[in-house]
C-alpha cells in the first residue's frame, strides 16, 4: 500500500472537521451513490484494512450475489465473477480518486461511516475477535454444535465477513445456533420442515427470508457443513435449504416420475395414470404427495431410480412401461418423500447414478436410507463403460472431489480413484434402457 495513503489516513486526525464539513453537498452525494447495500461489505473491509495495526496490501471481499458483483465491479473498474475476489487497497484508492468526487479512500470512508479512521492496536483487535468467537462458541455449545467440524471455520468467517454488529451478535448467534440444531447437517434429512416454520421457531416467520443477516449466517454454516460453495443465487440457496431438510414452499420442488403403477381408484391416482397413457411424465410436488392416497403401489413393485432426467426422458420416448423416478441430482425433499412412500408400500428401488463422487454419495444415501439396490453401479460396470468410451474415442471428464467408499463393491471406489475419470449416465444410456425393457431384477444390478 502506498505510504502516502496511510499517512493521509491518519495524519490529520479527522477529515470530517478539516474537509468533509466544508461541502455538505458533496458528502450527501457520496452517501447517495456509494452508501448502498451492495457496497457496504467493500467499505467495511476497506476500513478494516486501513485501520489494521499492520495494514495489508489486499483484502478478500465476498460477492454473495449478482448485485454486489455488479456494484463492486463498476466502482473498482473490472468485472467481478464468482463468490469472492481480492481487492487491492491502493487500486481501490485510485478508483475512488478517479471518480467525479475526486476523493481518497480515507476521505470516502470517513464520510460514509461518519467517523475518523483510527488505527487499531493488535491487542484490541485480538480482544474483540476473541470476544466474538466466545459469543459464537457459547451459542453453539448450548445446542451441542461446538465440536462440529464446520463450527470453527464458520466462527472465523463470521468474524471477518459476517457483517453482524457487536450489539446484534449475541442475538443472531443464539438464533442461528437454534436454527442450525434443527437442520440436517451431517446426514440426509429424515424429516422436513418449511422455512417459515423454522423461522417462527427462532423468533419470527420472516427471520430466514433471503437477505436477512440470520439467513446469511445460517446458510454459510450449512454450506461449510456440506462442503458446498456459499450459495450465490436463488437456485443454489433453495438447493442448500433442501439439502438440510427445509422446504421453501410446497409447490416449487418437484420429483419427476414415469409410469408409476398406482393402485388407487381415486381421481389423483387416475390422473397420474392418464398422463402415462398419454406418454407424459409427471412432476410431483409436496402438495401432490399430500393429496395422494396412503397406498401408492403394490408390495414387491420394482422401481428404477436414476439421477439424470435424460434416462427417464428416453424411457418416455420409447414408451418403456417400466416405472422410473428421477431425482435430478441430489434428491430434493419431495424426491426423498416419494421414495420413502414407495418403500413404505413395499416397493424395491434400484438406483443408478453418475460414476462421480457426488453420484456415489447419492447412491450411498439411497442404499442406506431407502434400502435401494445398486443398479449397474459395480466396478465391472464402471470398467465396461471405460472400455466402451475408449472403443468409441469418447472423452470422459476428469474425476474431481473427495473420494468416497463404495460398501456395495469396494473395488469400485479403488478403480474410480485409479482411473480418475467420471462417467455420466448418458454414456451408458443404451444399457440402462435395455434393462428397463426386460425388467430389473437382482441379476441386473
In tens, the pLDDT along 417-438 reads 999 999 999 999 999 999 999 9
Q: Where are the domains of the chain?
A: 3-113, 122-247, 255-444
Report residue 23's pLDDT band, with 50, 70 and 90 as the boundaries. Answer: low
What does the pLDDT read at residue 121? 60
Between 257 and 167, where is the model more confident? 257
In tens, the pLDDT along 369-387 reads 899 999 999 999 999 999 9
Report residue 2's pLDDT band, with 50, 70 and 90 as the boundaries. Answer: very low
Out of 22-31, 178-187, 331-340, 399-408, least confident range: 22-31
What does the pLDDT read at residue 258? 98
* Region 401-427 average pLDDT: 95
What does the pLDDT read at residue 131? 83
What does the pLDDT read at residue 188? 74
What does the pLDDT read at residue 5? 54
Out of 241-250, 282-291, 424-433, least confident range: 241-250
In tens, the pLDDT along 103-117 reads 999 999 999 999 888
In tens, the pLDDT along 62-72 reads 998 999 999 99
Residue 235 has pLDDT above 90, yes or no: no
C-alpha distances (whole Å) from 150 to each of 17, 218, 225, 400, 437 are 45, 12, 5, 22, 46
The CATH architecture that domain 255-444 belongs to is 3-Layer(aba) Sandwich (3.40)
Q: What is the pTM of this model?
A: 0.60
* Region 168-176 average pLDDT: 93
129: left (phi over 0), alpha (psi -120 to 50) or beta: alpha
- Please report where in the chains the cell 487497497 appears, as a residue: 89
Amino acid at each position: 500500500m502506498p505510504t502516502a495513503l496511510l499517512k493521509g489516513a491518519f495524519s490529520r486526525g479527522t477529515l470530517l472537521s478539516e474537509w468533509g464539513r466544508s461541502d455538505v453537498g458533496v458528502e450527501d452525494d457520496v452517501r447517495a451513490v456509494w452508501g448502498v447495500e451492495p457496497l457496504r461489505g467493500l467499505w467495511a473491509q476497506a476500513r478494516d484494512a486501513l485501520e489494521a495495526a499492520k495494514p495489508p496490501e489486499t483484502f478478500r471481499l465476498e460477492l454473495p450475489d449478482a448485485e454486489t458483483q455488479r456494484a463492486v465491479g463498476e466502482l473498482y473498474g473490472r468485472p467481478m465473477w464468482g463468490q469472492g475476489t481480492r481487492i487491492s487497497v491502493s487500486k481501490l484508492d485510485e478508483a475512488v480518486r478517479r471518480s467525479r468526487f475526486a476523493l481518497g479512500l480515507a476521505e470516502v470512508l470517513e464520510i460514509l461511516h461518519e467517523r475518523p479512521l483510527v488505527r487499531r492496536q493488535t491487542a484490541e483487535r485480538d480482544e474483540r475477535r476473541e470476544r466474538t468467537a466466545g459469543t459464537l462458541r457459547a451459542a453453539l455449545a448450548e445446542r451441542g454444535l461446538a465440536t462440529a467440524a464446520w463450527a470453527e471455520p464458520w466462527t472465523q468467517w463470521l468474524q471477518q465477513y459476517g457483517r453482524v454488529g457487536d450489539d446484534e451478535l449475541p442475538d443472531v448467534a443464539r438464533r442461528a445456533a437454534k436454527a442450525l440444531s434443527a437442520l440436517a447437517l451431517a446426514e440426509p434429512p429424515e424429516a422436513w420442515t418449511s422455512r417459515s416454520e423454522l423461522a417462527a421457531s427462532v423468533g419470527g416467520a420472516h427471520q430466514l427470508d433471503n437477505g436477512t443477516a440470520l439467513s446469511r449466517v445460517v446458510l454459510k454454516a450449512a454450506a461449510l457443513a456440506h462442503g458446498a460453495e456459499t450459495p450465490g443465487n436463488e437456485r443454489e440457496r433453495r438447493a442448500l435449504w433442501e439439502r438440510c431438510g427445509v422446504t421453501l414452499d410446497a409447490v416449487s420442488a418437484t420429483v419427476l416420475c414415469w409410469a408409476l403403477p398406482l393402485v388407487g381408484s381415486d381421481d389423483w391416482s387416475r390422473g397420474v395414470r392418464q398422463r402415462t397413457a398419454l406418454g407424459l411424465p409427471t412432476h410431483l410436488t409436496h402438495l401432490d404427495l399430500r393429496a395422494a392416497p396412503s397406498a401408492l403401489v403394490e408390495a414387491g413393485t420394482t422401481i428404477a431410480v436414476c439421477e439424470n432426467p435424460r434416462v427417464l426422458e428416453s424411457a418416455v420416448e420409447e414408451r418403456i412401461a417400466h416405472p422410473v423416478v428421477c431425482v435430478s441430482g441430489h434428491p430434493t425433499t419431495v424426491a426423498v418423500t416419494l421414495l420413502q412412500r414407495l418403500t413404505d408400500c413395499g416397493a424395491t428401488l434400484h438406483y443408478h447414478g453418475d460414476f462421480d463422487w457426488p453420484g456415489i454419495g447419492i447412491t450411498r444415501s439411497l442404499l442406506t436410507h431407502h434400502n435401494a439396490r445398486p443398479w449397474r453401479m459395480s466396478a465391472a460396470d464402471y470398467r465396461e463403460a471405460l472400455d466402451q468410451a475408449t472403443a468409441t474415442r469418447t472423452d470422459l471428464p476428469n474425476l474431481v472431489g473427495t473420494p468416497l467408499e463404495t460398501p456395495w463393491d469396494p473395488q469400485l471406489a479403488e478403480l474410480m480413484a485409479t482411473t480418475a475419470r467420471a462417467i455420466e449416465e448418458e454414456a451408458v444410456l443404451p444399457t440402462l434402457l435395455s434393462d428397463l425393457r426386460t425388467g430389473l431384477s437382482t441379476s441386473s444390478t
